[in-house]
Amino acid sequence: MFVREAIVIGQKHRDGRKRILLCYLLGLLWYTVTAQIHYSIPEEMEKGSFVGNIAKDLGLELQELSERGTRIVSRGKKQHFVLSVRSGSLLTADRIDREELCSQSARCLLNFNVLVEDKLKIYSVEVEITDINDNAPRFREEDLELKISETTVLGTHFILESAYDPDVGVNSLQGYKLSPNHHFSLLVQNGADGTKYPELVLDRALDREEESMLHVVLSAWDGGEPVLSGTVQILVTVLDVNDNAPVFTQPVYTINVPENVPQGTVLLTVNATDADEGSNSQVRYVLVNIPGKTSKIFQLNSVTGELSTLQNLDYEDVEFYMMEAEAQDGLGFWGRAKIQVTVLDVNDNAPEVTITSVTSSIPENAPPGTVIALFHVHDRDSGENGRVLCSMAGDLPFKLEKKVDNYHSLVTDRALDREQVSEYNITVRAEDFGSPALSTDTHILLHVADINDNPPTFSQSAYSAYIRENNPRGASIYSLTAHDPDSEQNALVTYSIEDSTLSLEAPPLSSIVSINSETGTLYALSSFDYEQFRECQLRVTARDSGDPPLSSNVSLTLFVLDENDNAPEILYPAFPTDGSSGVELAPRSAEPGYLVTKVVAVDADSGQNAWLSYRLLKATEPGLFSVGLHSGEIRTVRTFLDKDALKQNLIVAVTDNGEPPLSATVSVTVAVADSIPDILSDLSSQASPETQDDSLLTFYLVIAVAVVSCLFFAFLVLLLALRLRRWWMLQVVQSAGAPVGGVPSSQFLGIDGVRAFLQTYSHEVSLTTDSRKSHLIFPQPNYADTLISQQSCEQKESPLPAQSLLQGKDEQALFQQAPPNTDWRFSQAQRPGTSGSQNGDEGGTWPNNQFDTEMLQAMILASANEAADGSSTLGGGAGTMGLSARYGPQFTLQHVPDYRQNVYIPGSTATLANAAGKRDGKAPAGGNGNKKKSGKKEKK
């Protein structure tokens, strides 16, 4: 028996391989003809069994399967196959039961799709599951009881229960056979649908008294290899008298039912009658020959014959039901009728959209036709209810393209622009043609990725900026902003300036201005001078950070605004360079309005800063001359008189119209004479008395300075004596052993125990052209003298022992004052100017009184020499007191620095300068209010 089964199994496997090979060849042929891959395999193959070489059939290499993302997609149902990327084969995912999948269908086809994701190509694959004889015919019940009257006529047919075999074809039910007996034979009837119905035929009359019960075995067999069979035990009970069976009113009951009928709905009512009377006419209804699933869906009322639903119907699962109703009387007679239930489709399923592949981002330069998503649309309904139309709402730059097997692709229809729309929320609607129509919306969010397709742009084609000259270095000049509609790095703008030169003499542009590369703010690297250049043009480049970067340029014109930083410059009369003095002649007979000379001046500034006005500051004879306000012409106001001086000194001021105004002065000497020899003789006759007056004034000044110097030295000697005396007293106190309280070192200045004695002594000498109006002012000296006594130095801290003070004295020895500083004299640039215009020495200077005396003596000698030379004035100019041109007419003895006693702090090189000038409200350094340029012109 075992050997026979092994032979049968081996033959089965060989036949199976032949069938597989045949199916494979048929599949290749089918693929060639219909462009669809077709395979055929038997059912019940082990998990992982080979189905076909999908890589070869698709024309792909093994490594391309994984690289191109090849995978199987189905329609949402259970997947029965897997794709082996390693071998390129299609394998079974589990054991496949054909009867479970396709029931009694003649062909069992499983369809799925293979997606090559990289190429977005999809192939349709069809696998046919062939039947094997794995199911034997089965009867619904193992035992069947028949009750036959002994009066039954020979040849009577008794319909038996049909066997059910889920296999198809040759493996399905092929026939019946009856076990050997003496009374019955078997007749097999074929129905219109090919179903075989066994009927038991009475061949020999029954005799209840002879044999009341008969046992017959009915076998059903199929045509598979090996042949499988099923049996049912038939128990025949012999009855007598009852000879009529129930009869239905119609042999077939048909009904069409929509699938959405409620559960428990009565579909139809069957009815059968029995010609017998009494208990033999009572009929009971039952359902026979019902597959397992159908028996759970329908119910037949045994009394009323009403057929009702136990569950909801679903057209998508089963479209047609076939069953049999049997009417039985009390003695075992029955009649049968068929019931056909057709389920009508109702539009109760919305379309199903399965997204197979989708991209969430697409560059804005993607060409039209770029695939965004691939999805499958399926509606479980049938007919018009299952026909689906896909559409998109709104005017979007996309379109839908239909592919094979209800696949659709969403592609771009035209060029995209992220700067206009950066994100699309695409709604794809799948709507069927049912009534009412059902639809499903699928939302796809698509981001448009930016590319660097927009250069930075400025709001203007050209810019202008204005800045005043003499601006501080590093000051912000202007700010430029360029806008880039791109995003992220593509919108990150940096700024730069194209380097160039303003002119051949001008420095490079990069040394004048700079720009912040991030903000676009321009800064001045140097201070602009309007007189050097008045405008410059820059070219600013804005460049984004894209790849490749894009840029744009804009022109920026920088205008320098003038400020009043240049004093007027006097061109005429010019100062003589040969040592002579320039003199203008005016005849004695000149009428009023006579043009004596003209002052010519220019200003390097522009605009109103260069508008000049002239005025007469000082004249020997007021009211004799006038100066044109804008012309600078010096004219006579009246005729000359005999009492008028022959030499007239005029000081003319030239002032610009700036804010603040700057000015320059010039001294003009006008000689009243008809010719040069006349003016020389007149000046010689008048030189003696003036020289005598000037000599007397100089003598008085020398005496005054000498007296002041003597008093100052006497004061210094007295102060030094007092300091030595106090120091000596302190030494005596310390030697006596008296305790000294802790005194902060900051209170001891100069000598131990004595605070610094600060003295300020100043004098002021004012001189005028008239010696009778000269005067000297001697302010009271200021003293700051504090003697810290032993009693005032007591503190809460423990007193310092005398020995420590003596040690400190030994270590420091005797404090020496700093040596005199010989650099206190005026420098060449400091001599001209008003009183208080010179900067004081912060560290303090030691006075040198000899310089005052020497300076005055030099002044006296100069005056005497000029008088000896026949000059009629003191040194060639009124009010100059015989000083040379080095000391201008504005120079007075107020320029002599204050004499200030300086005291040195022990252990420090610093000295204490008198702050009398600050107490008087004067700054330590000052000026005449004009800038350096103006000051230099006055000095000349």
Task: Find how far residue 560's CA is from the centre of its chain.
Answer: 37
N-terminal to C-terminal alpha carbon distance within the chain: 146
Per-residue CA distances from 893 to 200, 482, 705 (Å): 163, 65, 11
pLDDT at position 862? 46
DSSP 201-241: EE-S---TTT-SEEEEEEEEEESSSS--EEEEEEEEEEE-S
Per the structure block, which two tokens stand in for 404? 């094979």
Strands 775-777 and 334-344: unpaired
Q: Angle at which helices 687-735 and 676-685 pack, to 10 degrees?
A: 50
Report how far residue 250's alpha carbon sits from residue 863's, in angstroms, rounded to the nearest whole number: 166
> Is the CB of residue 174 less than 8 Å from the CB of residue 268?
no
- DSSP character for 435? S
pLDDT at position 752? 37
What percentage of residues in the chain have a pLDDT greater than 90?
A: 33
Per the structure block, which two tokens stand in for 792? 């005032």
Residue with tokens 């989708």: 358
Residue 221's DSSP bridge partners are: 175, 229
pLDDT bracket for residue 842 (50, 70, 90): very low
Question: Per-residue pLDDT averaged across 457-465, rounded?
Answer: 92
Which residues lie below 8 Å from residue 842, measured CB to CB, with a gap of 6+? 913, 924
Question: Is the pLDDT assigned to residue 112 strictly greater than 90?
Answer: no
Question: Per-residue pLDDT averaged across 420-448, rounded?
Answer: 93
Which residues lie below 8 Å from residue 60, measured CB to CB, with a gap of 6+? 68, 70, 88, 116
Length of the chain in residues, anyone?
940
Question: Per-residue pLDDT averaged across 685-712, rounded?
Answer: 74
What pTM does this model have? 0.47
What percentage of residues in the chain have a pLDDT greater than 70?
A: 69
Q: Is 196 helix (H, G, I), strand (E, B) or coil?
A: strand
Per the structure block, which two tokens stand in for 323? 């069953």
Report how far residue 366's alpha carbon sits from residue 451's, in angstroms, rounded to the nearest whole number: 10
Per the structure block, which two tokens stand in for 768? 């005028």
CA dihedral 934, 937, 939, 940 (to 10 degrees): 180
Which residues lie below 8 Å from residue 40, measured CB to CB, with a gap of 6+? 19, 20, 22, 23, 24, 26, 27, 127, 128, 129, 130
DSSP 504-519: SSSPBGGGTEEE-TTT
CA dihedral 765, 766, 769, 774 (to 10 degrees): -80
Question: Per-residue pLDDT averaged across 222-238, rounded?
Answer: 89
pLDDT at position 172? 85
Question: Is the pLDDT assigned to residue 540 strictly greater than 90?
Answer: yes
Per the structure block, which two tokens stand in for 565? 């930083």
- pLDDT tens across 543-593, in order? 999 989 999 999 999 899 988 888 999 998 887 655 445 688 889 888 999
pLDDT bracket for residue 457 (50, 70, 90): very high
- pLDDT tens across 890-900, in order? 333 333 333 33
Question: Is the pLDDT assigned to residue 145 strictly greater than 80?
Answer: yes
Question: Is the pLDDT assigned to residue 505 strictly greater than 90?
Answer: no
- Phi, psi (degrees; rounded to nearest 5) at 238: -85, 125
> Is the CB of residue 844 less than 8 Å from the CB of residue 902?
yes
pLDDT bracket for residue 721 (50, 70, 90): very high
Question: Is the pLDDT assigned to residue 834 strictly greater than 70?
Answer: no
Report how far residue 593's alpha carbon sits from residue 585's, in angstroms, rounded to the nearest whole number: 15
pLDDT at position 224? 86
- pLDDT tens across 607-630, in order? 889 999 999 999 988 889 999 999
- pLDDT tens across 849-872, in order? 444 444 444 444 444 444 334 333
Which residues lie below 8 Å from residue 441, measured CB to CB, with a gap of 6+? 427, 428, 429
pLDDT at position 688? 47
Question: Is the pLDDT assigned to residue 370 strictly greater than 90?
Answer: yes
pLDDT bracket for residue 500 (50, 70, 90): low
**Which of 291-305, 561-575, 809-823 is least confident?**
809-823
